[in-house]
Amino acid sequence: MARVPSGIPGLDRFIGNGFVPGSINLVTGKTGTGKSIFCGQFIYKGAMDYNEPGIYITTEQTANELRGDFKESFGWDFAMLERMGKVAILEVKPYEIRPLINILESVITKIGARRAVIDSETVFGLYLKDKYLARKEMWEVMNILKEYGITTLITAQILEESEGLSRFGVIEFMVDSIIVLRYMALAEKFKRNLTIRKMRRTKHSEEIHPIVISNQGIVVYSPSEALGK
């Protein structure tokens, strides 16, 4: 089966050549671990290198902040891709899922989206009050994405002192794969790493992979490659 290239150099060989087409994948980690960069790279490279239009749904950062951050840090010109109709950025307030559900299908068909990012899971409403409702809303969004065969990344933030995989402990059970990003304050050289916690239909790596964030974006290494550096 053909896989969906992540656009993250070094990663695809560890996940069976890329994401499963139409799958929903969680990218989780504490603050500043690179989740939004990972997602931006997936959308940017998808549009630039693989001709796969993408939708970036953002809650915490505004569309303008994202465009500015990505352009300044990595030279990724999202505004240009939006003008070309290859990318759409949708700002959604945390916990206000209805407006998103209302426009999602028309945006998908307008740009012919093959990829989507939901950054972050706080887009799903009412977590704290009603987990049942939250799940129901999540299913609604995920069903639209699945219906169109869109390969999706969702980010979750792990709180600093938490051992869990997401803030609310719901989303990890609803996704096809989980990638965890970490920042180690003590490691001498490779401070950042990535692990694949689960990936359905995939014989994936179980190692701890050093990652580097530079002005090229994220690169993923094997433990032995990292030693050789």
Ligand X SMILES: Nc1ncnc2c1ncn2[C@@H]1O[C@H](COP(=O)(O)OP(=O)(O)OP(=O)(O)O)[C@@H](O)[C@H]1O
**DSSP secondary structure letter of residue 4:** B
- Which position's Cβ is nearest Mg ion? 36
Smallest gap from Cβ 69 to ligand X, in A, equals 7
Terminal C-alpha separation, the chain: 34
Work out whether 36 is an interface residue with Mg ion (CB under 5 A): yes
Task: Give the Cα separation of 184 and 117 in Å (integer).
Answer: 26
Smallest gap from Cβ 49 to Mg ion, in A, equals 23
Task: Give the Cα separation of 47 and 89 in Å (integer).
Answer: 13
33 binds, among Mg ion, ligand X, none (CB under 5 to 8 A by kind): ligand X
C-beta closer to Mg ion: residue 35 or 182: 35
157 binds, among Mg ion, ligand X, none (CB under 5 to 8 A by kind): ligand X
Please report which residue ranges of the chain form alpha helices under DSSP H: 35-49, 63-74, 78-83, 97-111, 131-147, 223-227
Closest CA to 146 of 99, 118, 114, 171: 114
Segment near Mg ion (CB under 5 A), from 33-41, 45-53, 172-180, 189-197?
33-41
Give the footprint of ligand X on this chain (CB under 6 A). Answer: 29, 31-37, 60, 73, 157, 213-215
Task: Give the Cα separation of 167 and 156 in Å (integer).
Answer: 7
Q: What is the DSSP string of 38-65?
A: HHHHHHHHHHHHS---EEEEESSS-HHH
C-beta closer to ligand X: residue 29 or 210: 29
214 binds, among Mg ion, ligand X, none (CB under 5 to 8 A by kind): ligand X
Smallest gap from Cβ 5 to Mg ion, in A, equals 22
C-beta closer to ligand X: residue 19 or 74: 74
Smallest gap from Cβ 22 to ligand X, in A, equals 24
Smallest gap from Cβ 36 to Mg ion, in A, equals 3
C-beta closer to Mg ion: residue 23 or 36: 36
The answer to whether residues 70 and 40 touch, using CB atoms and an 8 Å cutoff, is yes
Task: Give the Cα separation of 189 and 49 in Å (integer).
Answer: 31
- Which residues of this chain interact with Mg ion, rule CB under 5 A? 35-36
